[in-house]
Amino acid sequence: MNSRNLMLSVLWESCIRGAATLCLCLSAGVTLHAQGVVKGTVIGPMRNLLVGAEVSIVEAGFKAEVGPTGTFLFTSVVPGTYTISARAIGYKPYTTVRLIGGEDTVSLEIHLAPFGQVLPSLEVRGESVSPVPPKLLAWHRRKEIGQGVFMDSVFLRQQEHNRLPDVLARVSTVRAVRFADGRGRAIATARGRTSLSRRGGPGREIPNACYMAVFLDGALIYKTGSFASPPNLDDFPVQQIAAIEIYRSPAQMPPELNVTGADCGAVAIWTR
């Protein structure tokens, strides 16, 4: 081969290599710039940035957590149609469908709404309850236990036309005993025991009358078997009484009212 043909051959090979290099460069450029970008923010109803929210491009399998600035960024997204979702604890999930083209930058401002929990309507019926006076708290507690007979203010307001011994005598095995001198009545149970109606003289015994211990606002004012006369319960106006509790035997009585010798039971009167 002469020198002229050799030179032509070298020039031809150089052109071929240059063309190939140009094609590769053009091809690489197309690949590099034909991918899209998705970026944006996730905010709440008060335009607060929802840091920690999760954003996904579902079909591409991309996921990102919103950072401290409240933004997210996806790069190298191949052109196509994608489902973009966002979620955060306490908020309703968000979903949108976007077309992402080559060299596109899609900017999103995603708004998440809080969950609104709707509860079924609730109708409440009941009677109004007055505050319990402090001194009747123990009375209410013992009433819940149910040992004994309890008369509340509602019942007593209906009995204001009666005398207290007559109200108490409504309880079975409890009876009002009139003193021998006719001046008042005490409350007693029939326990097969003889008790004096008024101390101080013969002939004033009432057979089978076992006088009950009497408490007034928590204080013991008469003890069964005492040498003092039982209190005259006719002197206690029902209008001034807030509550009553009656225990017909020591077995029913709570510890705070179960005094020694109260074998005839007890009645506790609480004033208004």
For 244, the token pair is: 């009553």
What is the residue type of 183? Answer: R
Question: Residues 44-89: pLDDT tens digits?
Answer: 888 889 999 999 999 999 999 998 888 999 998 999 999 999 999 9
pLDDT tens per residue, range 166-181: 999 888 888 888 887 7
| pLDDT reported for residue 168 | 92
* Cα-Cα-Cα-Cα dihedral sign, residues 257, 261, 265, 266: negative
Asked whether the whole model's pTM tops 0.75, one would answer: no
Please report the domains of the chain, with CATH numbers, ordered by start residue: 36-111 (2.60.40.1120), 134-271 (2.170.130.10)
SS3 of 158, please?
A: coil
E strands present in the chain: 36-43, 54-57, 62-65, 71-77, 80-87, 94-100, 105-111, 149-151, 174-178, 185-189, 195-196, 205-206, 210-211, 213-216, 219-222, 241-247, 266-271
Element (H, E) at 109: strand 105-111
User: Where do we find the tokens 């923010």?
Assistant: 41
Question: Which residue ranges in the chain fall short of pLDDT 50?
Answer: 8, 10-12, 15, 18-32, 192-205
